[in-house]
């Protein structure tokens, strides 16, 4: 009996000890529900992107000197005004001395950009001249408003300028001698006209002038005169005749149906670095951003 009591007491002690261990384990491994740590999810932020709507060009200052074609006067005036709005501290100077002079001067380093109203020759390119086409222009054949001849073929134009046809009556007009008006030898307009018509170094001129304005003025003042001028410079004082049945216009220059057309070129020099201002002006003039100015001057933009 005494032995049974001892065994019962021992079993009771073991049960109490097991209970205490179990309670101790719970205390160490489980935190009360009210004190459980709160886990906060990280806040995700939208990625930042560097895509501003329109970045203003870096402000520049300085002077850009250009020189050359008188036919590009209207285009250059439009360029000067609009680029001045973009870069008010950059001054773009323009001097109209003729395409040949502009090419010579840029190659000599006396101006930043030369201006030519004809394509560069292989010889000029060999000297380092680089052709940057900013516009396309038609060369209009102009007569006095009193003249009844309104349409000429390329062949007839060539015959007039080489002296084979000397009287308007041969073309259905009045019985009057033709006064053949043209530009001086340095003119890009003359170079383009003579090359396209096929009369290089074969023209017989009554008078030669240094500027487009002088040609138009001479034709406007002489009922028997014929001349050639940039389409963008033609006004109501003269009449631009059809060539091969096609009237000169921006549309017919753009689609290639008007035969007598040429490029307007900004000439730089290979291997010569432009100033920041000059490079910015050239880049802008060659971009679609300048297309409106080209068209406002009566030409066609190749970069639109």
230-255 per-position pLDDT tens digit: 998 999 999 999 999 999 999 999 99
Cα separation, 205 vs 202, whole angstroms: 10
Whole-Å CA distances, 92 to 16, 278, 282: 103, 8, 11
For residues 83 and 96, membership in a common domain is answered with: yes
- Which of the four pLDDT bands, split at 50, 70 and 90, describes residue 304? confident
- Strands (E) across 6-125 are located at 62-68, 90-96, 113-116
71 and 86 fall within a common domain: yes
* 117 and 105 in a common domain: yes
- Based on the domain organization, do 109 and 221 belong to the same domain? no
Residues 191 and 282 in one domain: no
CATH number at residue 249: 3.40.190.10
Do 177 and 245 lie in one domain? The reply is yes
Question: What pLDDT is recorded for position 232?
Answer: 87
Do 131 and 272 share a domain, yes or no?
yes
What DSSP character marks residue 3? H
Q: Are both 142 and 128 inside the same structural domain?
A: no
The pLDDT of residue 98 is 93
Its domain, for residue 172, covers 138-261
Which whole-number Å values give the CA distances from 49 to 46, 54, 58, 244, in the listed order? 9, 14, 21, 57
* Shared domain check, 122 and 183: no
The strand pair at 225-230 and 207-209 is best described as: unpaired
Q: Does residue 74 sit within a domain?
A: yes
Percentage of the residues of the chain whose pLDDT score is greater than 90: 79
Same domain? 166 vs 241: yes
pLDDT tens profile 187-210: 999 999 999 999 999 999 999 999
CA 142 to chain centre: 28
242 and 144 fall within a common domain: yes
| pLDDT tens-place string over residues 151-183 | 999 999 999 999 999 999 999 999 999 999 999
Residue 79 lies in a domain: yes
Total count of domains within the chain: 2
Mean pLDDT value across residues 219-226 = 98
Distance CA 243, CA 256 (A): 12
Contact (CB, 8 A) for 205 and 183: no
Would you state the pLDDT for residue 58? Answer: 87
Across residues 71-75, what is the average pLDDT? 94
229 and 281 co-located in one domain? no
Residue 270 neighbours by CB under 8 Å, 6+ apart: 128, 129, 130
Q: Could you read off the pLDDT of 102-143 as tens digits, one per residue?
A: 999 999 999 999 999 999 999 999 999 999 999 999 999 999
Buried b vs exposed e over 178-197: b needs ≥16 C-beta within 10 Å? Answer: bbbbbbeebbbbbbbbbebb
Identify whether 30 is part of a domain.
Answer: no
Distance, in Å, from the CA atom of 19 to the CA atom of 297, rounded to the nearest integer, reads 103
Could you report the per-residue pLDDT of 3-47, keeping only the tens digit for each? 444 444 444 444 444 444 444 444 444 444 444 444 444 444 544
């Amino acid at each position: 009996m005494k032995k049974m009591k001892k065994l019962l007491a021992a079993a009771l002690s073991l049960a109490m000890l097991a209970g205490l261990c179990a309670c101790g384990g719970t205390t160490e491994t489980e935190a009360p529900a009210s004190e459980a740590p709160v886990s906060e999810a990280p806040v995700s932020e939208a990625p930042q992107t560097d895509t501003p709507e329109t970045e203003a060009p870096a402000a520049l200052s300085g002077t850009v000197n250009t020189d050359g074609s008188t036919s590009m006067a209207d285009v250059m005036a439009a360029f000067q005004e609009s680029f001045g709005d973009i870069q008010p501290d950059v001054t773009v100077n323009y001097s109209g001395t003729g395409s040949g002079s502009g090419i010579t001067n840029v190659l000599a380093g006396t101006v930043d950009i030369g201006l030519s109203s004809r394509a560069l020759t292989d010889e000029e390119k060999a000297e380092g001249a680089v052709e940057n086409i900013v516009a396309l222009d038609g060369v209009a054949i102009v007569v006095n408003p009193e003249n009844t001849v309104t349409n000429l073929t390329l062949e007839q134009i060539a015959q007039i300028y080489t002296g084979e046809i000397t009287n308007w009556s041969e073309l259905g007009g009045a019985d009057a001698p033709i006064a053949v008006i043209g530009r001086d030898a340095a003119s890009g307009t003359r170079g383009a006209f003579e090359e396209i018509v096929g009369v290089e170094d074969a023209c017989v001129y009554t008078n030669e002038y240094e500027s487009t304005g002088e040609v138009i003025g001479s034709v406007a003042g002489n009922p028997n005169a014929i001349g050639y001028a940039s389409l963008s410079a033609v006004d109501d004082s003269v009449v631009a005749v059809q060539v091969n049945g096609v009237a000169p216009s921006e549309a017919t220059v753009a689609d290639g149906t008007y035969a007598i057309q040429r490029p307007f070129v900004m000439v730089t020099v290979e291997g010569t670095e432009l100033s920041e201002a000059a490079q910015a002006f050239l880049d802008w003039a060659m971009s679609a951003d300048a297309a409106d100015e080209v068209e406002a001057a009566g030409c066609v933009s190749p970069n639109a």
